[in-house]
Amino acid sequence: MSTMDVAAAKFADLTFEDKLDRLAEVAVRVGLGLRAGQELIMSAPMEALPLVRRITEHAYKAGALLVTTLYGDDPTTLARFAYAPEASFDYAPKWLQDGIAEGFRNGAARLAIAGTNPALLAKQDPAKVARANVAASKAGKPAMELITRHTINWTIVAFATPEWAKLVFPNDREDVAVAKLWEAIFVASRVDADDPVAAWQEHGARLKQRVELLNAKRFSALHFEGPGTDLTVGLADDHLWAGGGTTAGNGVYCQPNIPTEECFTTPHKDRVNGTVRASKPLSHQGTLIENIAVRFEGGRIVEATATAGEDVLNRLISTDDGARRLGEVALVPHSSPIAQSGVLFWNTLFDENAASHIALGQAYSTCLIGGEKMAAEELAKLGANASLIHVDWMIGSGEMDVDGVAADGTSEPLMRKGEWV
Ligand code: ZN
Ligand code: ZN
C-alpha cells in the first residue's frame, strides 16, 4: 500500500504493518519535519527494527542524506551489571557522544525510539545504576544540550516491546499485552485519525493557542491544590510557555514528543514552596518509584519520601544541587486521550502527557525569552535551573485545581478538577 492509500484508509481496516508505517511517517514528517539533505541519527531498542526500517524508508523518501541507527539491547545492558568490572560504572563512551554532538552541529536530526523495559534495572545495585547514569549524563552533555536547547530538530516515538507490554498489562498473555500496548500507542500518537499528519497539524494549533493565552497572562506563579498537594511554583522571570511543536535553532519545525499534550514552562529555581504528592508512579532508569511525596522550601527539596524506590529517589535528587530543584512545570488536562485511556504506561513519554507534571533538574532554555542564546550565568540569573538530570513526575489528576498568580498577588483559576477553566 502506498503512503497516500494508507493515509486515506480507515484505521480499523489497516494491517499492523500499515499502522506501523503510519507511525513511521508521523515520526519523520511531523515529529522531525525532516528536511531534504539532513542527516538522521536514530537510537532504538533492538526489538524496534521493523519500525527503524520504516522510519529509515520515510527518511530517505524525504531526502535524508544518511540514516545511522544505534541499537540498545536489554540483555546486553544486564550483562554489564552482572559481569563488568567496578570501573565500568564510572565510564561512558565520551568519544561516541562527542561524535553525535558533532553530527548535530553539522546539521543532523535526532530520533529516539522508546521501548526499553522500564523495570530493567530494578533489581540492580542502585549505587551502580546511579554511577552509570551520572557517567552517561556527563559524557552526553554536549549532545544533550543541543537537544534541550532545540538547536536541532528531534523527536521521540515509541515501540511496544514484549517486556514493556507485560509490565503495562501484567494480567494478559504476552501477545495480547503487546497488541494492547500497540493499540494504546497508536491512539496516543494520533495515527488512528483518517489523516494523521493533518490531525497533528490541528492538535498542534490547539496547543499553540493555549500557549499564547498563557504567555499573554505573564503569571508570576502557579498554585496547585489537590490531595496531598499545596504547592506554589514561582515562574522564572521572562519565562515562555511552550507546547505543540517548536522551530528549532536550525530553522526546522518539529514535534519533539510523539505523543504530546502538554503546555510547559520554566519555574524559578528558588521560588517553589509547599508540599506535593505524585499522582502516578515514576519509572526512572529501570526502577519504579511509587507514592512520591516532597516538600520544597525556597525552591529546594528539603524532604522526600516514597513507598517504593525511596533510595533511588534520594540518590536521584543528590546527583547535584540542581537535582533538588525544578526545571519544568507543565499543564495537561485530565481529558487528554492518554489520561482517558486509563493506562499507566510506566514511561514518561506517555505518562507525562496524562497529567500535569513537574520536572526535577535541567530547565529548557527555550522556555525563556531569548534563552536559547544565553550563557549559563544569564539563565541562572532569570531563575532557570541547571542539572545533569531532567526527570518528569506526574502530580495532576481529576482532583487537581490550578490557579495562575499575578505579580500583584491576585489569582485566577486555570484548571478545576483537572480541566482547563
Ligand atoms: Zn513535560
Ligand atoms: Zn520534562
pLDDT in tens, the chain (421 residues): 445 455 556 888 999 999 999 999 999 999 999 999 999 999 999 999 999 999 999 999 999 999 999 999 999 999 999 999 999 999 999 999 999 999 999 999 999 999 999 889 988 998 999 899 999 999 999 999 999 888 999 999 999 999 999 999 999 999 999 999 999 999 999 999 999 999 999 999 999 999 999 999 999 999 999 999 999 999 999 999 999 898 999 999 999 999 999 999 999 999 999 999 999 988 887 778 999 999 999 999 999 999 999 999 999 999 999 999 999 999 999 988 898 888 989 888 999 899 999 999 999 888 999 987 889 999 999 999 999 899 999 999 999 999 999 999 999 999 999 999 9
Q: How far is the CA of 264 from the centre of ligand 1 (A)?
A: 6
Task: Let me know whether 230 and 318 are in one domain.
Answer: yes
d(CA 9, CA 22): 11
Task: Let me know whether 18 and 158 are in one domain.
Answer: yes
- H or E segment and range at residue 45: strand 40-45
pTM: 0.85
> Does residue 231 form part of some domain?
yes
Q: Is the dihedral of CA 150, 323, 394, 328 positive or negative?
A: negative
Task: Let me know whether 131 and 269 are in one domain.
Answer: no
Q: From its phi and psi, is residue 298 left (phi > 0), alpha (psi between -120 and 50) or beta? A: left
Q: How far is the CA of 310 from the centre of ligand 1 (A)?
A: 22
Q: How far is the CA of 377 from the centre of ligand 1 (A)?
A: 24
Q: Are 266 and 364 in contact (CB under 8 A)?
A: yes
Q: How far is the CA of 331 from the centre of ligand 1 (A)?
A: 8
> Does residue 124 form part of some domain?
yes
Q: How far is the CA of 341 from the centre of ligand 1 (A)?
A: 19
Task: Let me know whether 127 and 236 are in one domain.
Answer: no
Q: How far is the CA of 301 from the centre of ligand 1 (A)?
A: 19
Q: How far is CA 202 from CA 26, 30, 215, in A?
A: 14, 12, 20
Res 144: pLDDT? 93
Last residue of a domain, one of 144, 171, 188: 188
Residue 106, SS3 per DSSP: coil
Q: Is the dihedral of CA 209, 211, 212, 216 positive or negative?
A: positive
Res 348: pLDDT? 85
Task: Please give the span between the terminal C-alpha atoms of the chain, in angstroms, as a whole number.
Answer: 44
d(CA 239, CA 384): 9
Nearest ligand atom owner, CA of 362 = 2
Nearest ligand atom owner, CA of 356 = 1
Q: How far is the CA of 392 from the centre of ligand 1 (A)?
A: 6
Residue 33 belongs to what domain range? 3-188
Res 248: pLDDT? 94
Task: Let me know whether 178 and 323 are in one domain.
Answer: no
> Does residue 119 form part of some domain?
yes
Task: Let me know whether 152 and 49 are in one domain.
Answer: yes
Q: Are 180 and 169 in contact (CB under 8 A)?
A: yes
> Does residue 207 form part of some domain?
no
Nearest ligand atom owner, CA of 261 = 1
Q: Are 239 and 214 in contact (CB under 8 A)?
A: no
Task: Let me know whether 161 and 18 are in one domain.
Answer: yes
Q: How far is the CA of 358 from the centre of ligand 1 (A)?
A: 7
Q: How far is the CA of 355 from the centre of ligand 2 (A)?
A: 12
Task: Let me know whether 165 and 235 are in one domain.
Answer: no
Task: Let me know whether 140 and 183 are in one domain.
Answer: yes
d(CA 364, CA 43): 22
Res 9: pLDDT? 64
Q: How far is the CA of 371 from the centre of ligand 2 (A)?
A: 17
Nearest ligand atom owner, CA of 355 = 1
143 φ, ψ (degrees, to nearest 5): -70, -45
> Does residue 204 form part of some domain?
no
d(CA 116, CA 77): 11
Res 2: pLDDT? 46
How many domains is the chain built from? 2
